[in-house]
Amino acid sequence: QLDAGVYGLANAELGARWPKVVRGETALESALNPGTDIASERLLALLADNSQPPDNVLPRRGKPLETERQVAPCFINGKEYGTRASTVVLIGERHLSFTEQAYLAEGRRGERVTFNFPLGS
């Protein structure tokens, strides 16, 4: 069971402090501050962050440095391997919004769909 808070998860165990996880958690905490408009567009932009961290903070998992560089950003822009979809789910008191942005190879944007559902009666 998790305590209340913001958690990030990459392709590792919960609590792994990869640079993209730390950066994403910080950005999400900022987006969730009281008085901040939480919009799907803002959260999708967070997921599209392709910032490259310096080599000295990359995880050491026994992979070649070039591989670690390729998978280090939150958004992985690759031809063979990369981000293919980003999804934002927002739940309010009376509705749920589900937005998914698809991506093609090399980070080209594909279709974006949004579904809205009423909650309660």
The number of residues in the chain equals 121
pLDDT tens per residue across span 15-31: 888 999 999 999 999 88
pLDDT tens per residue across span 63-102: 999 999 999 999 999 888 999 999 999 998 899 999 999 9
- Give the pTM: 0.84
Residues linked to residue 118 through DSSP beta bridges, in sequence order = 95
Highest mean pLDDT among 14-18, 58-62, 77-81, 112-116: 112-116
SS3 category, 42:
helix
Provide the residue ranges of all domains of the chain, joining segments of one domain with +: 19-118
| 22 membership: H or E segment, kind and range | helix 19-31
**How far apart (Å, rounded) are the C-alpha atoms in residues 93 and 83?**
31
Q: Pull the structure tokens for residue 103.
A: 């991506």
Q: How far are the Cα atoms of 13, 20, 22, 42 from residue 55, in angstroms, in the given order?
A: 21, 13, 15, 28
